[in-house]
Amino acid sequence: MGKRDYSLLGPDATRAVETGLAAAAWYHTDVPRRGMKALMQREDGPAIRDSVILYGCMIVFAGIGIALWPGWWSAPFWLAYGVLYGSASDSRWHECGHGTAFRTKWMNDVVYQIASFMIMRNSATWRWSHARHHTDTCIVGRDPEIAVMRPPQFVKLIGSFFGIPEVIDFVPRIIRNALSGPTPQERTFVPESEWGKVRRVAQAYCAIHAATLALALWTGSILPLMVIGLPRIYGAWHHVLTGLLQHGGLADNVIDHRLNSRTVLMNPISRFIYWNMNYHVEHHMFPMVPYHALPRLHDAIRHDLPAPDTSMLSAYRQVWPAFRRQLRHEDYFLKRALPPTAKPYREDLHRISPGTPVGPATPPHALPAE
């Protein structure tokens, strides 16, 4: 079998379109309409409360960090600030990008813009890339947000805990966006009407980072960068720790989120930072349910889902060996058992294998694992 080609312009991308894997109709658990309507309802209260806590804590931690700078006593405050900047911004970017965090549109938009800047994602580009991630979740050649491509690159993976590959990607990309708009790959999912916005957002990001850098050079101190920019590196670890579990080690090229997404029960602090995205199967199946209703959605559909992992540690006990095995066997993945109350996986929907030309001889081997 051929190797996976994750390029959005490559042969696996073409194959996904030809075979109907792209923009397919995905499996959904049946939820009565009235129950689903109640779950989808929007509120401002929970997200206002969480935003006051988040930004209040950031101001306090950064303030203490600056006051104690350059002493080592400032370190714990920078670590706490960094996680809120470099990790909580990931989940805020995500929820506000969906427009579900707040009921009020401008509140979603403001938090989305702040979070996109902090997590170093062009707010005009990533809205569209994330849409593609939802349309074609973990479809090789279609999903631009596959965190761990097969075979896994462990150096890159470990670097991600410090934001290194992302920052290395971000810097030339944002400069290029500022000069000439979206890259050719980005143009495959960002509509032309938005290309000007991609450029303007990039120019704003470049200006803020350049001003921060200039201030650091002028004062002869990295302190300004400790507040803006560097926390994307020293605070990234938590969003990578939680994010790798979303799809890591699970199937690709399937159209049932129970096969390619994972729900993990987590401690309340991680859930606050992650804004309940640990309920990831639920989120992908019903993306219009806001983060604060995901625990209720979980209760409503858990009879139809694989049992959630009971902690991050227990999830990593499966994910890490799966990554290692994928080094030698790219096709390997974890297939979780469904409870007897669940509708079975539709194996017939998942006969397309990446890297393999489509034809009558295509083997049904997209579900090979135990």
- Looking at the Cβ atoms of 47 and 312, the one nearer to another protein is 47
- Looking at the Cβ atoms of 207 and 288, the one nearer to another protein is 288
Nearest by Cα to 114 from 81, 84, 97, 89: 89
In the complex, least distance from residue 76 CB atom to another protein, rounded to whole angstroms: 38
In the complex, least distance from residue 288 CB atom to another protein, rounded to whole angstroms: 5
Cβ pair 225, 212 in contact under 8 A: yes
348: region left, alpha or beta (phi > 0 left; psi from -120 to 50 alpha): alpha
- Looking at the Cβ atoms of 21 and 236, the one nearer to another protein is 21
In the complex, least distance from residue 310 CB atom to another protein, rounded to whole angstroms: 30
In the complex, least distance from residue 31 CB atom to another protein, rounded to whole angstroms: 10
Please name the residue that has the structure tokens 């409503």.
300
Q: Which residues contact 107 (CB under 8 A, 6 or more apart)?
A: 44, 47, 48, 101
In the complex, least distance from residue 319 CB atom to another protein, rounded to whole angstroms: 28
- Looking at the Cβ atoms of 112 and 323, the one nearer to another protein is 112
In the complex, least distance from residue 103 CB atom to another protein, rounded to whole angstroms: 8
Q: How far apart are CA 268 and CA 272, in angstroms?
A: 6
Residues near another protein (CB under 8 A):
23, 33-34, 36-37, 40-42, 98-100, 103, 105, 127-128, 131, 134-135, 191, 193-194, 286-288
- Looking at the Cβ atoms of 99 and 151, the one nearer to another protein is 99
- Looking at the Cβ atoms of 170 and 189, the one nearer to another protein is 189
Beta bridge partners of 279: 263
Q: How many residues does the chain have?
A: 370
Concatenating the DSSP letter of every residue in 211-246 gives HHHHHHHHHT-SHHHHHTTTHHHHT-HHHHHHHHHH
Nearest by Cα to 236 from 77, 61, 86, 121: 86
